[in-house]
Structure 1
Amino acid sequence: MGHWLSAPEYQAARFAVTHLIALTYLIGFACFLRQFRGLLGERGLTPVARFVERVPFRRAPSLFHLRSSDRWLAGAGWAGVVASLLAQFADLAPLWAWLVLWTLLWVLYSSIVNVGQVWYGFGWESLLLEAGFLVIFLGPAHLAAPAPILWLLCWLLFRVEFGAGLIKLRGDSCWRDLTALHYHHETQPMPGPLSRAFHHLPGPLHRVEVLANHGTQLVAPFLLFAPQPVASVAAVIVVVTQLWLMLSGNFAWLNLLTITLACAAISAPPVVRPDPPGWFAVPVLAVTVLFVVLAYWPIRNMLGRDQVMNRSFNRLHLGNTYGAFGSVTRVRYEVIVLGAHSPDGPWREYEFPAKPGDPARRPPQIAPYHLRLDWLMWFVAINPSYGRGWLPAFLRALLRGEPEVLGLLRHNPFPDAPPKLVRADLHRYRFTTRAERRATGNHWTRTRSSDLIPPTSLDDVG
C-alpha cells in the first residue's frame, strides 16, 4: 500500500479505536451470554429456533441457521468473548491473522443481531457492527494506518451525530424551544445514579444543555472533516458531550462507541510505520467504494422530510442511519409486575435489575452493560403493543417459575413455588423533590395509574 494511503499522524487514533471496539465487542458478547437463555434460548421468550424456522437465511444471515440449541448459542458467545480478548493483543499479529480475527468477531456478532429479534433492535447494535466491520481493514499497529478507513469512521460518526441532531430539530417541539431537558433526565429509558441530580438542575442550565447539544450534533460533525487541529477540537467536543451523557443516564454502549469513533478524528505527532503489503490496498479501496455507494441511503434519509432513526438498509448492517430521542415523553410511567397465590393476595412485586421499581432504590449505574428486558419494559409503558410478541410468554414463564426467565430479574419473590396469578399495573413515576427526599429517603415517588394486565392465571395465557 503506497504512502498516499497512509496516515502516520493517526497511529494513536487507530490504536484507541481498535482497542475500544474490542472492549465493546467483549461487553456485547458478555451481555449475550448472561441473558440469551431467558430471551432467545430454547426456553426463552422468543426462541431463536422458532425464529429461524420461519425466517430464511437471506432475510436474516446468521450461523444459527445451522443450529440453534442453547449449547450452540453459548459456544458462539464464548467464542466471541475469547476473540474479543485476543483482539486486545492483535496488534502483535501478522496482517492475515488480524483480518481473520476481526472478521470472526463481526460474523459472530452479526449472527446474534440478525436473529436477536426485538431484543437486538437498538441502534447501537448496528453501530457496533458497522464500526467493527471497518476495523477489519485498519490493520495492526505495526503497519501504517490506512487513511480511507479512518475517513470512513469519521463519516460514521457524522451520521450518528448529525442524524440525531436533525431528528431532534424535526421532531419534538421541546428541542426547538429548549425545554427538552426539563423532562428527559426523568423520563429517559434507564436513569442512572446522577439522573435525579441532573433533573433538578436550574431551568436556565437545562436550556444551555440543549443549545450545547444542538451545537455538538449539528455543527461539530462538519468540522470533523476540516484541517487539523479543527477536526481534533470537534472530536473533543463530541467526547465531552458523550461523557456528560454517560453521567446523566444509562445508554448501553452508545456513548462508549461514539467516543471511540471520535478518537478516529484526533491527530497526534506522526509515527512512521512500514506500509502494508500492496495487495492490502485492494480491499481497503474496495471497502471505501462500497461505503461511498451505500452513503446514498442515509443521505437521502437525512435530507428527506420523513427521516427515520436507527434504520439498516441492508442485511449486513452497513451504511446505516442513526438518531435518538426525536420525541421526549413528558410523564414517566412504569410497568409494575406482581404475583400472588390467590386473588386476595398478598401481591408481591417482581423487581428488575435496573428499571425503576422500589421508590427507595437509587437508579443503578448499568452502562455500558445492556439490560434488554429492562429497556423493553420502558417501551411497553409507553405503548403496550411493544410487548405483544413476548409479554404473554413472560407472564407464562413467571407462572411456571422458569429459571431461565427469572434469571433476568433482580430477585424472585416466590422462591418456594410460583404464583397462581400475575398482573401488571401502570404507575406514574417522578423524581422526589429535595424536601421529599429528606422526609422519606426515596428517590422516586409513584402513584398507581391503571391496570395494564388484570390478574391472569396460567390457563389464561396457556
Structure 2
Amino acid sequence: MVSIVYTRNLYLRGISVVYLFAFASLYVQIPGLYGNNGLLPARTQMESKSNGVLAKFLSKPTLLWFAPYLGLDTEYMMDVLGIVGVTLAFLGMVSQKCCNAMMFSLMWALYFSLYQVGQTFMWFQWDILLLEAGFITIFVAPLVYVKPGKNRSQLYQNPVTFQLVRWLLFRLMFSSGVVKFTSGCPVWWSMKALSVHFESQCIPTPVAWYAHHLPEWFLKISMIGSHVIEVAVPFLFFFPLSAVRVTAFYLQIFLQLCIIITGNYNFFNLLTMVLCISLLNDNFFFTKRKGKGRSSESSWFLTILAKLVHLGVYAVLLYFVKVLFALRVTDKYTIVSDTTFTKEEFERALGKAVPAAMLLGALPLALNSAEAVTAAIIDGPNRFFSRVTNFFSTLFYVAVAVFLFSVSLVPLASIHPPVLQSSANSTVSLLLRHWHSRVEPFQISNPYGLFRRMTGVGGRPEVIIEGSQSIDGPWKEYNFLYKPGDVNSSLPFVAPHQPRLDWQMWFAALQTYNQNPWILSLAYRLVNGQPEVLQLMDTSRNPFPKGPPKYIRASLYHYHYTPWSQKSSPSWWRRERIEEYFPIFSKDHPPLLDYLKKLKIIGQDAPSSAGLRGKGKDRKKDLWTNTWLISFLKFLRSLIAQVEASIFLWSLFSAGCVIAFTRRI
C-alpha cells in the first residue's frame, strides 16, 4: 500500500487555508449583506412555526438558532460563527495537530450554518464545492493526531477516503468541461470563447486586458488546451501509473494558475488546487534510495518501461487532440484548428464516457477498500481488542466512502440525462436517486459545471447606479470597489476575497431587476445612506458624502476593453449606454416600499432572539442581551474595518505562514 500520510496532511492544511479565506471573506461583509439593515437581512430566514429550538433546528439546520442562548440576534450570531470559523481554520493552518476530524466537523457545521441563510449571495458553485469537500475532509482527517510512522492503526482508511477527494476533483473538472459542449453555445463550439471571456468575466485582473489582445489563433489553441485538460485529462486521474497522474496534476495546476492571473475567482481556484493534491502520494515528496545488484537492474528496467508508458499515454492523447480539432501549422507559423466532431457525435461519446467514468471511479475505490480491510486484519496490532476495533473502524470508513461515492453518481449522470434514464435500473438506481435527494439539502453531493453559456458576446453588460438631489439631475455615479464602473479605474487583484455584492451585480446585468429583488433593496439602502451597505462599495469616492441622494436610478451599459492601439491610455474600458435598468426611485416611493415590505426586508423590528420567542418567564430569558459580547464584537469589527478586505485576508495567511514556519524551526 503506497503511503499517503504526508500527502494527506498537506491536503488537510490546504483545506484549512481555504476555510480561512472563505470565513474571513464572508465575515467582513456580514453587516452589509445580512445585517438588520443589510441587503438581505438574515433574520428573514430565521422564521419558523415550529416550537422549541430542536424542532426549529430540524426544519433549518443552522447554529444561528442558538443565538438567544448567547444573548445575541441573528446578525451578531453570524459574526460569532464567522470569527470561530476563522479561528479554527487558522489553527488548522498553523498546526497539524489541529487537523483532526472534530475540527473539520466544526468548520463544516459553521460554514453550512452561514450558507443556510446566505440566500443569493452564497448560491455559488465554490460555496457548495467547499461544503462537499469539507464534508469529505471530515473522514479524511484522523480522529486524533498521530506522528507519521508512530502508529499504523489510523492509516488503513487513508487511501479509501482520500479516493473520494480524487473522485470529487474528477467530477468537478469533467462536468465543468462537458457542460460547455452540451449547452450548445456556439461560442464554445467555435473555440472563440477566450476572445470574449477575458472581457466578459466578472472581475478581470490587469493581465486579462493583455490576454484579450493576444492573437486569435493563440486564444483558440488555448481554448482547446483548456477543454482537453478539463474533459480528457481527468480520466487519467485513475491511471495506475503514478507518473501519468503527476503529469495530470501539473496540467491541472497550470490551468488553475492561468485562471488566477487573469480572473478573480476568490478561493475557488485555490480549492481546486488543493483537491489536486489527491493525485499525488508520498513518493512525490520523498525520493527512495536505489537498491544494488539485480534488484537495481530490475528497477532500471521497470523505470524505463514506466517512462515509455507515460510518454505513450500522452502521445496518444495529443494524437487524438490533433485529429479531433484538425490542428495544423500554416506558412506564417500560426496554428489553425477546426472542430471535426458534431454535437450528435459528442452526445454519443458522452453517453459512453459517463458510465466509463463511474466504473473508473468505482474500481480503485473497491481495490483500496479491500486492501484496507485486509491490512486492518493482517497488519493490525497484536492485542485482540485493538485489532477488532481497528477492523470495525476501517469498515465504517469504507461504508461511508461507498455511500458518498454512490450518491455522487446521480449528479454526475445528470450532465447527460439519457445515461440517467437508461441506467435507472442498474448504475444509477432509483434507490441511489432517493438517497441523493435525502442528502441534497446538506450540499454533500452536488452537480458542477461553470459558464455553460458565454455571456457578453455583444459587449460586457454592466449596471450603473446613479443618484441625484433633483429628479432633473445632475446624476452622480456610484462606484463599486472592484467591478468595472469608471472606465479609468484600474483592474484589481482581489482573490481570494470574494466581494459578493460585486459578483451579484455581474449576474444582475445579465437579467432584469425584477429577477433580482435584492437590487431594489440596494437602491433603498443607498437612498437612505445606510452605512453598512455603503461599506460594500467604494466609500473613498462616495458621490454624496454629506448625505444620501433624494433620487436613485440605474442604467444598463455595454463595456469593451480599449483597443491595443490605446495601451498607453489611462482608460481600460470604453462604454455605451444601452437602456434604463430600473426607473427613478425615491426614499418614500410607495411601490418600492410595498415591495420591500412584502419581502420583509423593511417594516420589521430586528428580533433580538433570532426568531425564538418564549412565554412568561421563558420570554424574558430568551430576550436577554449579552452587552459585553456585543461590545467586543463591535470593537473587533471596527478594527478589521480599517483594513481593505483582500489585505486582511492575506495578512491572516501571512501571519499563519510565519507561525507555522517558526514552530517548525
TM-score (norm 2): 0.64
Return the match for 1:428 from 558, 580, 605: 558
1:201-280 to structure 2, matched below 5 A, reads 201-227=214-240, 228-269=242-283, 278=390, 280=393
1:120 is aligned to 122
Return the match for 1:315 from 430, 441, 447: 441
Superposed CA deviations along residues 192-229 of structure 1, whole A, max 9, x for unmatched, are: 12111111110001111111011101111110011211
Provide structure 1 residue ranges, at least 5 long, that are not aligned to the other structure.
1-5
Report the CA distance between 1:370 and its aligned residue: 0.5
Report the CA distance between 1:148 and its aligned residue: 1.1
2:104 is aligned to 102
Return the match for 1:301 from 376, 396, 414: 414
Q: 1:54 to 1:180 in 2, by over 3 A?
A: farther
Return the match for 1:160 from 157, 172, 177: 172
2:581 is aligned to 452
Superposed CA deviations along residues 243-264 of structure 1, whole A, max 9, x for unmatched, are: 1111111111111111111111
Report the CA distance between 1:306 and its aligned residue: 11
CA contact (8 A) 2:413 2:419 kept: no
1:374 is aligned to 502
SS at match of 1:229: helix
Q: 1:141 to 1:382 in 2, by over 3 A?
A: farther
Are 2:573 and 1:417 aligned? no
Report the CA distance between 1:7 and its aligned residue: 4.4
Q: 1:283 to 1:415 in 2, by over 3 A?
A: farther
Distance of 2:419 and 2:506 partners within structure 1: 25
CA contact (8 A) 1:351 1:409 kept: yes
Are 2:491 and 1:363 aligned? yes
Report the CA distance between 1:344 and its aligned residue: 2.9
Larger mean Cα displacement after TM superposition, 26-35 or 141-150? 141-150
Return the match for 2:475 from 347, 350, 371: 347
Distance of 1:371 and 1:387 partners within structure 2: 20
Report the CA distance between 1:284 and its aligned residue: 1.9
Q: Which amino acid aligns with 1:395?
A: A
Superposed CA deviations along residues 158-191 of structure 1, whole A, max 9, x for unmatched, are: 1110001110111212222211111111011111
1:384 is aligned to 512
Q: 1:214 to 1:66 in 2, by over 3 A?
A: same
Distance of 1:141 and 1:238 partners within structure 2: 31
Are 2:78 and 1:73 aligned? yes
SS at match of 2:495: coil
1:3 is aligned to none
**Percent identity for Structure 1 against Structure 2:** 32
Paired residues in the alignment total 448
2:213 is aligned to 200
1:183 is aligned to 196
CA contact (8 A) 2:139 2:161 kept: yes
Superposed CA deviations along residues 88-109 of structure 1, whole A, max 9, x for unmatched, are: 244225xxx8222111101000
Report the CA distance between 1:418 and its aligned residue: 0.7
Report the CA distance between 1:386 and its aligned residue: 7.2
Please provide the CA RMSD for this pair: 2.4
CA contact (8 A) 1:92 1:142 kept: no
CA contact (8 A) 1:14 1:141 kept: no
Q: 1:245 to 1:306 in 2, by over 3 A?
A: farther
Report the CA distance between 1:351 and its aligned residue: 0.8
SS at match of 2:555: strand
- Structure showing greater radius of gyration is 2
Provide structure 2 residue ranges, at least 5 long, that are not aligned to the other structure.
50-55, 68-72, 149-154, 289-378, 381-385, 421-435, 594-665
Are 2:388 and 1:394 aligned? no
Distance of 2:192 and 2:564 partners within structure 1: 21
Could you say which structure has the higher helix fraction? Answer: 2
CA contact (8 A) 1:38 1:45 kept: yes
Larger mean Cα displacement after TM superposition, 148-157 or 290-299? 290-299
CA contact (8 A) 1:91 1:142 kept: no
